[in-house]
Amino acid sequence: MLPQFGTAVRKTKGLTAETSGSAPERATVDAAWLVLEAANDLGDHAAIDACRRVLDAELNGTVAGSADIDLVLGYFR
């Protein structure tokens, strides 16, 4: 099964205001790994940095920036 991105993730995982204040969701982190790999292949340094911030937030249990999450979830659109 292919991973879900963008709108599909938001619809099924409920990325709403009530979850935006917590650590990144597992689906967002999984997407960040996939985007990181693609961004590395393409040399997209802005996306690489955003993915690293999302992954760091997961590892540290902190909140990832909404701009970083939006970039990760919308990367393949």
What does the block give as tokens for 9? 């993730």
**Amino acid 15: pLDDT:** 43
- Locate all alpha helices (DSSP H) within the chain, ordered by sequence: 6-13, 26-42, 45-60, 66-74
Residue ranges per structural domain of the chain: 6-74
Are the C-beta atoms of 68 and 56 separated by less than 8 Å?
A: no
Token digits for 41? 């292949």
In sequence order, which residues have a C-beta less than 8 Å from that of residue 38 and are 6 or more positions away? 44, 47, 75, 76
pLDDT tens series, the chain, 77 aa: 445 555 444 444 444 434 445 555 888 999 999 999 999 999 999 999 999 999 999 999 999 999 999 999 999 99
43 three-class SS: coil
pLDDT of residue 13: 45
pLDDT score recorded for residue 47: 97
Q: Is the model's pTM score more than 0.85? A: no
